[in-house]
Structure 1
Amino acid sequence: MKSNQDASQERWFHRNRMWLVTAATLIAYVAFLEVAFGIRALASELSAIGIAPLLTALILLVATYVVRCWRVADYFPRETEGRFRRLLRLTLVHNLLNIMLPLRSGEASFPLLMRSEFGMPLARATAALLVMRLLDLHALLAAAGIGLVIGKDWALPALLLWLAFLLAPIPIFALKGPILKLSARLPKRLQTLVDEIENGLPASPVAFLRAWGATLLNWGVKVVVLAWVLRLMDVAPIAASFGGALGGELSSVLPVHAPGGVGTYPAGIVAGTLSFGADASSAALAQIGKAAVNAHLLILISAFVGTGLAVLIAPSKKL
């Protein structure tokens, strides 16, 4: 009997090890924040922004999740037709898992959830996720590039360079046909893989433009909101605020992402602000550190609020 109980406990720990690591990390992080800054001091810093700006920022951040969901719906119109609320719940659950689980392991939930909810083949959903993540990275860098242009006082060379980078996906997508034709020379096994990747690409230039536009809107709003919040918490100059938003979000899309982004997300914000011209004095770093922690907290709150709302309004069928 004891042996069976031990085996059952071992299976439980094995099934829940990711969440246990996440919970332990969050507890340790809260303890660290109390020692380093003081939870009350951080809360006071955040409340000093004012309820109206905080609610505005929170609403805009949650709205970006709706834009992200619309992009998926537009990407797979036939499979998701008439089920936007269910897709919204799937998108928000995937986003929360991506934030809370370590080392980007939450990404694996997207193709699994798409197969469970909409009967989509894993290869197609995975290929589409890869394409969307590449668009995300480009849009994130383009949105943060606004800070560089502002930092250069809107100098024409900097503006033209930013515009060239912003529009780069259009000619790249135009080369899709010639590149895919080369797959005919590949071994059959690799050609099958290329075919699955092709199935994950937008079907037409118009569909690509919609996906690209939704991606730019999503990340543009998110980066601008984060930069605004950082600036309200005395992160200066404005270019450094954009750099902080870029650094935090880059930390969340790279494989080094910690559970819940604890440590890595604020560190990314601090690194981004310094790279974009923030003061590196002890007093300035202390202020940036507190602002980074609070900006990260706002991201976590928006993810939980968005997921809670999506679960409430979605149909009752389990994912």
Structure 2
Amino acid sequence: MKNYSVASQRAWIIRNAMTLLTLGIVILYAIFIQWVWGWSSVLALWESAGLGSAFLALVALLGTYVLRTWRIYDYFPKETGGHFGTLLRLTQVHNLLNIMLPFRSGEASFPLLMKREFDLSLARGTAALFVMRLFDLHALLAAAGIGLVLETSGTIGMHWAWIIWLGFLILPAIGFALRGVALRFAARILPAKAAKLLAEIEAGLPVDTKAFARAWGATLVNWFTKIAVLAWVLCLLGALPIPAGFGGALGGELSSVLPVHAPAGVGTYPAGITAGAIAFGAVATGASLEELGQAAVNTHLLVIVSSLIGTALSLFAARGKR
């Protein structure tokens, strides 16, 4: 009887491992926020700007998480079909681990979780993640590039700035159209041992032009929305010009992919915001710099609180397939 009880408990833990992992991460992250900042200070920091603005920004960021989940859902329709809720929870756990763990080590959780929940091979999951991250980096730079273009407003070079930006924007479409040529060229110049790696990269690409257009479009909308929201928050809290707001949003997001990214981005994310905003024209002295620093911390808090709330809400999503 005792052995049966132990076996039953283990089976229950295995069946609910994803839920338990999610709940554990949410609790630890909530404790972490209380320890570093304190939940009362998180709310107090937004009182001057208005809790309505904070709520609007929070909802917009939560919307980007849903769109990010849909991109993966559409990327693997056979494996994830009918289980959007489970995938939403998986995506939120992956996102929160990425924020919490340094050196982007949280990325390793994606292929592992996809293997467990949807029986997707580790090779295909890793290759697809690599391709999606390339999409993300391009869209992030394109979104922030709007800030650079806005700096040329009213100048002679404004039209050229928009043309260059549009050229950069369509680079992924050109690359996808030439993927066959690029893969064949790589196969000729790389050693035979690299053939398996190339096959994995090819397997991670969208299956056809329509799938590429959906993934690329979702990525652009996702990052343009997130950068716009963060830029708006920075302009609201730090009284920044629009280009500096875009630069700060870019700096913060880029800091999260650096090897020196601290756990939960404490210190490094606000520093990235500050550096990006200054690079795009923010005043770097006196009271203006202090105000920028406070705005950077508040924006960072908004990002991590939105991740925490998104992960907590995903607990109400559907159960896994297995």
TM over 0.5: same fold? Answer: yes
The TM-score with structure 2 as length reference comes to: 0.85
2:152 maps to 1:152: yes
2:160 maps to 1:161: no
Query: 1:28: Cα distance to partner?
Result: 11
2:194 maps to 1:190: yes
Name the CA distance, whole Å, in 2 between partners of 1:70 and 1:27.
29
> Which string of whole-angstrom CA distances, capped at 9 and with x for unpartnered residues, describes residues 201-257 of structure 1?
011111111111000011000000000001111342110010000000001123221
Name the CA distance, whole Å, in 2 between partners of 1:162 and 1:73.
30
CA contact (8 A) 1:29 1:262 kept: no
Report SS of the residue matched to 1:211.
helix
CA contact (8 A) 2:103 2:257 kept: no
Distance 1:275 1:307, change over 3 A: same
The residue identity in structure 2 corresponding to 1:46 is: W
* Residue 242 of structure 1: aligned partner: 246
Name the CA distance, whole Å, in 1 between partners of 2:124 and 2:260.
26
Name the CA distance, whole Å, in 2 between partners of 1:63 and 1:28.
25
Report SS of the residue matched to 1:137.
helix
Query: 1:52: Cα distance to partner?
Result: 1.5
The residue identity in structure 2 corresponding to 1:269 is: I
Query: 1:44: Cα distance to partner?
Result: 4.1
Query: 1:46: Cα distance to partner?
Result: 2.0
* Residue 230 of structure 1: aligned partner: 234
2:95 maps to 1:91: no
* Residue 107 of structure 1: aligned partner: 107
Name the CA distance, whole Å, in 2 between partners of 1:93 and 1:27.
17
* Residue 220 of structure 1: aligned partner: 224
Query: 1:140: Cα distance to partner?
Result: 0.4
> Which string of whole-angstrom CA distances, capped at 9 and with x for unpartnered residues, describes residues 128-171 of structure 1?
00000011000001011111111211621111111111111111
Query: 1:27: Cα distance to partner?
Result: 8.0
Distance 1:27 1:77, change over 3 A: closer
CA contact (8 A) 1:236 1:278 kept: yes
* Residue 137 of structure 2: aligned partner: 137
Query: 1:184: Cα distance to partner?
Result: 4.6
Report SS of the residue matched to 1:313.
coil
> Which string of whole-angstrom CA distances, capped at 9 and with x for unpartnered residues, describes residues 280-318 of structure 1?
112111001000000000001100110011112232678
Name the CA distance, whole Å, in 2 between partners of 1:146 and 1:223.
10
CA contact (8 A) 1:125 1:200 kept: yes
2:302 to 298, 301, 306: 298
Name the CA distance, whole Å, in 1 between partners of 2:73 and 2:135.
16
Query: 1:189: Cα distance to partner?
Result: 2.9
* Residue 56 of structure 1: aligned partner: 56
2:194 maps to 1:180: no
**Residue-pair matches, total:** 290
* Residue 14 of structure 2: aligned partner: none
The residue identity in structure 1 corresponding to 2:86 is: R
* Residue 72 of structure 2: aligned partner: 72
CA contact (8 A) 1:183 1:191 kept: no
* Residue 262 of structure 1: aligned partner: 266
CA contact (8 A) 1:102 1:259 kept: yes
The residue identity in structure 2 corresponding to 1:250 is: L
The residue identity in structure 2 corresponding to 1:254 is: L
* Residue 309 of structure 1: aligned partner: 313
Which blocks of at least 5 consecutive residues in structure 1 are unaligned? Answer: 1-18
CA contact (8 A) 1:45 1:233 kept: no
Name the CA distance, whole Å, in 1 between partners of 2:256 and 2:272.
9
Report SS of the residue matched to 2:58.
helix
CA contact (8 A) 2:83 2:321 kept: no
Distance 1:305 1:274, change over 3 A: same
Name the CA distance, whole Å, in 1 between partners of 2:251 and 2:273.
5
Name the CA distance, whole Å, in 2 between partners of 1:317 and 1:100.
27
Which blocks of at least 5 consecutive residues in structure 2 are unaligned? Answer: 1-24
* Residue 15 of structure 1: aligned partner: none
Query: 1:57: Cα distance to partner?
Result: 0.4
> Which string of whole-angstrom CA distances, capped at 9 and with x for unpartnered residues, describes residues 157-204 of structure 1?
111111111111111111101112235545443111211111110111
